[in-house]
Amino acid sequence: MNITPFPTLSPATIDAINVIGQWLAQDDFSGEVPYQADCVILAGNAVMPTIDAACKIARDQQIPLLISGGIGHSTTFLYSAIAQHPHYNTIRTTGRAEATILADIAHQFWHIPHEKIWIEDQSTNCGENARFSIALLNQAVERVHTAIVVQDPTMQRRTMATFRRMTGDNPDAPRWLSYPGFVPQLGNNADSVGNDSNLLIVFYVQIMPDDFVMQLHRF
């Protein structure tokens, strides 16, 4: 992974950035286990821990995973993230919609059945993610009362606002719950504090499918 060097930021500046990051990464859950829902909506993005978090919820709760994302201005970031991933790099990416790529991850690595994966592969922005996902939910055989929305943490709050704006005061609309998967934390790299090559790093916990964990336990 290529990491861009930045000059050292003051602790106050880093704290301020992290406050904003925590606000953007809207999390409607107080604990680690999300509230039981009828569906998980994963908006296409290139943040792998967020993608894994959505897949884990859908698998553990055995509920549908609706994946929204066509080919947009940032799709190449997903291609790059997949290519650099130690396990997902076998997934074909070039020329494919974000939703179809993420559906492959959900099925091949998280073992979510095809019938539990709903694909919306035409949206190219946040507004279309919401509008097209809602249209797909309206076609579901069973009504979705509660949906957990998962997105890039820095886009989570605006995505939730978009979903709620799209449904407005509709009494039949699902209850939208926000879950970013993780909250990014920015910090100075302790190995290079005090020089111009100091790097900013984001800390997160990587969630892995059980198959990967079992493989790690063998070594």
Q: Please state the domain extents for the chain.
A: 11-28+35-217
Q: Phi then psi for 81, rounded to 5 degrees?
A: -65, -40
Question: Is residue 209 a contact partner of residue 24, using CB atoms and an 8 Å limit?
Answer: no
pLDDT at res. 187: 81
Query: pTM for the whole thing?
Result: 0.84
Q: Let me know the angle formed at the C-alpha of 207 by 41 and 205, rounded to the nearest 5 degrees.
A: 110
Tally of CA atoms within 13 A in the half-sphere of 168 that contains its CB: 2
pLDDT at res. 138: 94
3-state DSSP percent of the chain in helix, strand and coil, to 5:
40, 15, 45
pLDDT at res. 141: 86
pLDDT at res. 89: 97
Report the first-to-last Cα separation within the chain, whole angstroms: 25
* Parts of the chain with a pLDDT under 70: 1-6, 31-34, 189-219
Question: Is residue 100 a contact partner of residue 118, using CB atoms and an 8 Å limit?
Answer: no
Residue 50 β-bridge partners: none
Domain 11-28+35-217 maps to which CATH number in 3.40.50.620, 3.30.420.270, 3.40.630.90, 3.40.50.1820? 3.40.50.620
Question: Is residue 122 a contact partner of residue 67, using CB atoms and an 8 Å limit?
Answer: no
Alpha helices in 109-179 (DSSP H): 126-137, 156-167
